[in-house]
Amino acid sequence: MRRNDILDDFDFDDGHYFEENSGEVVAKFYSAMEAEVAAARLRTEGIPCFIANSASQTMLPHLQLLVRLHVRPQDVERARALLAEAAIDTEDPADERADNRALLFMAILIGVLLAILLARAVF
Domain around 96: 92-123
Would the pLDDT of 42 be above 80? yes
The verdict on 111 and 77 lying in the same domain is no
- pLDDT in the model for residue 109: 93
**Domain count within the chain:** 2
The verdict on 41 and 99 lying in the same domain is no
State the DSSP string of 51-117. EESHHHHHH-GGG-PPEEEEE-GGGHHHHHHHHHHH------HHHHHHHHHHHHHHHHHHHHHHHHH
The verdict on 20 and 70 lying in the same domain is yes
β-sheet bridge partners, residue 25: 70
Per residue in 105-118, pLDDT tens?
A: 999 999 999 999 99
Per residue in 61-118, pLDDT tens?
A: 667 778 889 999 999 999 999 998 877 655 555 666 667 888 889 999 999 999 999 9
Measured CA to CA, the distance from residue 53 to residue 110 in angstroms comes to 50
* % the chain with pLDDT above 70: 69
